[in-house]
């Protein structure tokens, strides 16, 4: 008689190695219209564009103002306000919105709550030359510096 062997602690390759997003998705940040599950889905979303409605959902979730997001996206606040909710925002601006959503998602992973991360984003940081992380969001290099700092914080390195 053969016995069935049940494998309880099966080790598998990390999903991140294949470009799949983590368990916290961008759905809550980009609105219910989008359900990306891989980095290629995000690439396609950036190419297609993001609706103003989704951007406003992001803005509300991360507790920013339209003025702050307009500055990050390099678009005038007035232009952003004139868009209808269904208007699709161009690729370069959609890419910034996705980058912002990913950054905030990562920040919440590291700090535990959106409030803690928002507080950190608005506090001068020694490793960022005394600048507040939020002031660095106007460039992709700034986003990278913030992500690097979050990685150091996660691993307990002075940041």
Per-residue pLDDT, averaged over 59-79, amounts to: 92
- Tens digits of residue pLDDT in 25-57: 554 456 545 566 677 877 888 888 888 998 998
Percent of the chain topping pLDDT 90: 53
Distances in whole angstroms, Cα of residue 107 to Cα of each of 32, 33, 86, 98, 143: 21, 23, 29, 14, 12
Tokens matching residue 79: 């232009």
CA distances from 74 to 29, 68, 136, 137 (A): 20, 10, 13, 10
Q: Tokens standing for 26?
A: 């961008």
Contacts of 45 (CB under 8 A, 6+ apart): 30, 34, 36, 94, 98
Q: pLDDT by residue (tens digit) across 85-111?
A: 999 998 889 899 989 999 999 999 999
Span 60-81, mean pLDDT?
92
* pTM: predicted TM-score of the whole model, two decimal places: 0.78
pLDDT at position 150, please?
96
Quote the pLDDT of residue 29: 58
């Amino acid at each position: 008689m053969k016995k069935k062997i049940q494998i309880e602690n099966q080790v598998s390759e990390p999903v991140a190695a294949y470009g799949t997003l983590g368990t916290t998705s961008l759905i809550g940040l980009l609105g219910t219209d989008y359900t990306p599950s891989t980095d290629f889905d995000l690439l396609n979303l950036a190419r297609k564009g993001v609706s103003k409605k989704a951007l406003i959902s992001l803005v509300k979730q991360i507790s920013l103002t339209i003025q702050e997001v307009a500055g990050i996206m390099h678009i005038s606040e007035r232009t952003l306000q004139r868009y209808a909710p269904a208007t699709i925002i161009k690729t370069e601006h959609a890419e910034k919105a996705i980058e912002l959503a990913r950054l905030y998602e990562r920040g919440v992973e590291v700090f535990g709550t959106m409030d803690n991360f928002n507080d950190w984003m608005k506090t001068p940081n020694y490793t960022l030359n005394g600048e507040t992380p939020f002031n660095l969001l106007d460039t992709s290099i700034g986003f990278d510096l913030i992500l690097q700092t979050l990685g150091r914080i996660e691993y307990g390195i002075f940041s």
